[in-house]
Amino acid sequence: MNDPHPYDALTPDLVLAAVDAAGHASDGRLLALNSYENRVYQVGLEGGRFVVVKFYRPGRWTDAAIAEEHAFTAELAAAELPVVAPLSHAGETLLEHAGFRYAVFPRRGGRAPELDGAEAAAWMGRTLGRVHAVGARAPFVHRGGIDLESHVRAPMRQVLEGPLLPDACVARYRAAIEAALPPLADAWSRAQPVERLRLHGDCHPGNVLWTETGPLLVDLDDARSGPAIQDLWMLMTGAEAQREALLEGYSQFRALDYGELSLVEPLRLMRQIHYAGWLSSRWQDPAFPPAFPWAAEARWWDTHIDDIREGADAL
């Protein structure tokens, strides 16, 4: 987890060798896909097919936590839900090669979703209602939850200990987080009791592909325990009719506690705080500075601090 360059040894030859070791005969075609937390590649196979191979960031998840992600995905697939489950080799889905843990997935196509319309929103809601019906069957044991420690306090420490926050912003940043914690805690307290279930965890439009058969959920790498609304709020476009269609579709397959809507703004603020911590903790990874150059600018941190204060005031 502390290695600033965890993927230095992940060469193209190693990627192809890992795919071969998983029982797939690669043909040398290799394409890096857009991913920063992990490293993900599309690899061509003999015969013309493709697979997608994901190399997990060293130290981020335990083997048991990754196994839970794979088991949850397999459980969803067995319930005929539109997810992409990892392929197994010798009965295992979490594999290791040359010190890297990885998984191989079938390649699935699709386009970016257009969720503004009521029909697509309702379809998305029905899909998530079915996902959560499965997610409510049993809890995660080894994966984290969505709470103030993981999404506010830990990211605050990452920012304060990291290389990005300008010295001139330290006092303002610390004060903004400390001012946000009481209203966030109060919002969660007022929303109780909140049922926590297994979630996709990062269900934004970029993790949804649209196909001829409807939505396809990808990348359950952030699967966590939390309230159902966590998988819904990032898909709300802001239009009331779209939101109602999404929630009504959801309710066709699983009852939604509408009191959880009070958590949308707290969750939005927590995601902003968590994002800054993530950037700060990953900045030494050479893939990050060219991808997020604005995160090294003082004006971005000024805006981020203002956003935290405004979000806290709104709560």
**Residue type (1 letter), 170:** V
Note the pLDDT of residue 5: 78
106-158 pLDDT, tens digit each? 999 999 999 999 999 999 999 999 999 999 999 999 999 999 999 999 999 99
**Backbone φ, ψ for residue 46 (5° rounding):** -60, 135
The SS3 assignment for 236 reads coil
Is residue 219 part of the annotated active site? The answer reads yes
Catalytic residue among 8, 219, 231, 313: 219
Domain 118-314 CATH superfamily:
Transferase(Phosphotransferase) domain 1 (1.10.510.10)
Beta strands in 113-163 (DSSP E): none
Q: ∠128-216-118 over CA atoms, to 5°?
A: 60
Mean pLDDT, range 57-82, rounded to an integer: 97
* pLDDT 10s digits, 254-279: 999 999 999 999 999 999 999 999 99
Q: What is the pLDDT of residues 170-180, one digit of tens each?
A: 999 999 999 99
Give the pLDDT of residue 4: 66
In whole angstroms, give the CA distance from residue 143 to residue 76: 17
Q: What is the CATH number of domain 12-106?
A: 3.30.200.70
**What are the tokens at 286?**
């050479």
What is the rounded CA–CA span in Å between residue 112 and residue 132? 22
Residue 202 bears catalytic tag: yes
Say how many residues make up the chain.
315
pLDDT surpassing 80 at residue 2: no
Domain range list for the chain: 12-106, 118-314
Say which of 27, 147, 167, 202 is annotated catalytic.
202
Determine the average pLDDT of the residues in 276-288: 96
pLDDT digits (tens, 9 = 90+) for 194-233: 999 999 999 999 999 999 999 999 999 999 999 999 999 9
* Cα distance between residue 4 and residue 163, in whole Å: 12
C-alpha–C-alpha distance, residues 33 and 52, integer Å: 9
